[in-house]
Each structure stands twice: as C-alpha cells, then as structure tokens.
A and B are shown apart, each in its own frame.
Chain A
Amino acid sequence: QVQLVQSGSELKKPGASVKVSCKASGYTFTSYAMNWVRQAPGQGLEWMGWINTNTGNPTYAQGFTGRFVFSLDTSVSTAYLQISSLKAEDTAVYYCARDGHGGSPLPDYWGQGTLVTVSS
C-alpha cells in the first residue's frame, strides 16, 4: 500500500535551517510528482509547490521562493523540504503529498505531517 512517512517534529531557533524528509513506499517513486503543503496553526492548507521526481525540477508557489528548497534522493525514494533563515511565521505542519493517479495534478496520498516550531 502507498505510504508517505515523514520525519519527526523539529524545534528550531530563528535564523536556523531545517530539513524535512518524506519517504515513499508502495509505488514507483519516480512515477508520481511530490507536492509540499503547509498548514499554520489553526489555519487552512497552503500549496507550497511540487517537484518532478523524474527530473528533480522543482516548482515553487508564490511566497515560497528563496528560502524553500525541494530536493530528492531517488535511491531511497525520499523527498526533502529544506527551509533556511527560519522565522517565527514558518511555524506550521508541513505535509508531503503525492500527485494523483492517472496524471491528476492534485494530491491523493499524504504524509502524516511534520511540525516545525520556530521559537527563541
């Protein structure tokens, strides 16, 4: 069965960096793009962008350029989200979510989420 397992919660100080991992199993990793979605405390879902798991080419949504980097290690079927120069407003749960079956550009399977807390 399809599973996306994310790394555990992180507590970081402002200005630090964090790298969240998302390990996929149960399907061919390079056959589906991977999305990243942010959910701030008490807020809705916000699409951050996606990465082509064949080419490694990332696409970032408005507001997620510069400090946010999507990357892959296809040898271990894992996608990564790195955030640098962390700010308090980056505090959120970050989800990886696979593109849908049959070429659908909308997510179907989701990871369990990784809480990133930025606090001094």
Chain B
Amino acid sequence: QSALTQPASVSGSPGQSITISCTGTSSDVGGYNYVSWYQQHPGKAPKLMIYEVSNRPSGVPDRFSGSKSGNTASLTISGLQAEDEADYYCSSYTSSSTVVFGGGTKLTVL
C-alpha cells in the first residue's frame, strides 16, 4: 500500500488560511469516509485534529476543517496562528483493511 500524497511543505502568514491536500485512490481516500488528520509538534506524539473526513474532536478549534472530493481529502486551517506551525499527516482506511498515512506536510507560519 503506497503512502498517500501530501505536499512536503506549505506556509502562510498569521491570520491567513492554508489548505493541505491528501491524494489517494478509490481504494482508500475515495472509497471510505474514514480519513483523519493529525498534528505533530517536534518531539511530540501526533494529535487527532479531524476524523471521518470533517469531524473535529472536542477541544480542537473550529479554525480547523476537513473535506473530501473524490480521491483527495483536504485540511484547511483558517486564521493561522503561530502555534499551528507543525507537521500534519493524513490517514485513511483502505480496501485491504489496513491503515495508510500520508508522507506529512510541514506547515510554516511566517
């Protein structure tokens, strides 16, 4: 199972919005509504930010939103803040009953 495709890096200024894409196939992202997004700060464990494509766990700011179109899922962060600077990973359930992660995207807040 190949990793999902994410851009290596994105950047934005405080207050701006950014979108991170996550491209898979009809056997993973496109075939299921089981897509999650994780935030990981250096030296820390990943933290769940979005589950089932567009749902936010309790405590995650509503500046974070998720969506999906076809085989591509997206994470949008609006009103960027300095503390949003981190690595972001998408993940999806697959038709092989496995889990696959994206390669990760480094978000820089300028």
> Which residues from chain A sit less than 8 Å from chain B, CB to CB?
35, 37, 44-47, 50, 59, 61-62, 95, 97, 100, 104-113
Contact = CB atoms under 8 A, between A and B. Distances in A.
A113 B4 CA distance: 23
Contact of A104 (B3, B34, B47, B102): B34
B35 to A, nearest CB: 8
Given A45-B104, A104-B52, A106-B51, A111 B45 contact: yes
B69 interface: no
B103 A44 contact: yes
Contact of A112 (B35, B38, B45, B51): B45
A64 to B, nearest CB: 11
Contacts of B48: 100, 107-110
Given A104-B51, A106-B99, A111-B45, A44 B89 contact: yes
